């Protein structure tokens, strides 16, 4: 059985902008990689040719699918929650969506944002972090959502964190990293996936110099593990995982 990874995001382009290196590395080593994205990104600042939020959502859905294909994602799913308004949903509702996928896909490792909201401190990212954390801990509990499939407990939960900040933005308060991934071998693949989001081309042009300067590594913080252990530095997303 292959290693399995689930990444939970808020918007189309999160999968490449934030997690692209980790996802490409995992897929390229033969892991089964899945993405759950909560919104269609219909409130995005960059709108391309879209005239309405609904039209933008459909365009960005297609861009998301193209990006995931470039990253060799096995299972890519996009929900239709309101972009920019995830904080108005209950954690219980959002966590139930994630628990369904955890129990069906049975990932060894789960990736999501940290509570800081990532380098752009987006509230949707913070909410997804909270819901994913709850789902990670609840998916193996017989007291939580017994009607959402057979119980399953992933082995690792990682938060995305950072060693650099976007200029002219409110700086996040990121978690100290415990995992550093060398993504030089998949850096071009990550950028190519970002280019698939054609509506977001102005954003790519802004951040590409930062990627080229700082983006040869991705950093993650180990937030939970099945076995009590000290925090140590690692370079392997699946280190210590039992297949």
Q: What is the pLDDT of residue 214?
A: 86
Query: Which residues does the chain have with pLDDT short of 70?
Result: none
Q: What is the pLDDT of residue 215?
A: 84
Q: What is the pLDDT of residue 66?
A: 98
Closest CA to 9 of 88, 72, 68: 68
Q: What is the pLDDT of residue 141?
A: 97
Q: What is the pLDDT of residue 47?
A: 77
Contact 241, 197 (CB under 8 A): no
Q: What is the pLDDT of residue 144?
A: 96
Q: What is the pLDDT of residue 203?
A: 87
Closest CA to 236 of 177, 182, 191: 182
CATH code for the part of the protein at 4-225? 3.40.50.10320
- Tens digits of residue pLDDT in 139-197: 999 999 999 999 999 999 999 999 888 777 778 899 999 999 999 999 999 999 999 99
Closest CA to 196 of 7, 12, 5, 4: 12
As a whole number of angstroms, the distance between CA 202 and CA 195 comes to 10
Q: How many CB atoms lie within 10 A of CB 173?
A: 9
As a whole number of angstroms, the distance between CA 155 and CA 144 comes to 18
Q: In Å, how far are 17, 148, 220 from 136, measured between CA atoms?
A: 23, 14, 16
Q: In Å, how far are 6, 25, 52 from 182, measured between CA atoms?
A: 20, 9, 40
Kindly list the domain boundaries of the chain, sorted by start residue: 4-225
Q: What is the pLDDT of residue 85?
A: 96
């Amino acid at each position: 059985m292959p290693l399995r990874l689930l990444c939970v995001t808020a918007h189309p382009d999160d999968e490449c902008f934030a997690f692209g290196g980790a996802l490409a590395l995992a897929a390229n080593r033969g892991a089964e990689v899945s993405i759950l994205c909560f919104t269609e990104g219909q409130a995005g600042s960059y709108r391309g040719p879209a005239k309405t939020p609904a039209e933008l959502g459909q365009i960005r859905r297609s861009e998301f699918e193209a990006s995931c294909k470039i990253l060799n994602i096995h299972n890519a799913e996009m929900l239709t929650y309101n972009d920019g308004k995830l904080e108005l949903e209950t954690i219980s509702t959002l966590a139930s969506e994630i628990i369904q996928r955890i129990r069906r896909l049975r990932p060894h490792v789960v990736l999501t944002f940290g509570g800081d909201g990532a380098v752009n401190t987006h509230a949707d990212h913070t909410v997804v972090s909270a819901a994913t954390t709850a789902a990670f801990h609840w998916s193996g509990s017989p007291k939580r959502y017994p009607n959402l499939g057979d119980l399953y407990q992933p082995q690792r939960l990682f938060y995305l964190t950072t060693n650099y900040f976007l200029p002219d933005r409110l700086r996040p308060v990121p978690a100290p990293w415990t995992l550093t991934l060398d993504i030089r071998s998949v850096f071009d693949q990550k950028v190519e996936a970002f280019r698939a989001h054609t509506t977001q081309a102005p954003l790519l042009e802004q951040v590409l110099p930062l990627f080229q300067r700082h983006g040869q590594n991705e950093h993650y913080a180990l937030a939970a593990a099945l076995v009590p252990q000290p925090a140590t530095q690692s370079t392997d997303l699946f280190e210590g995982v039992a297949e």
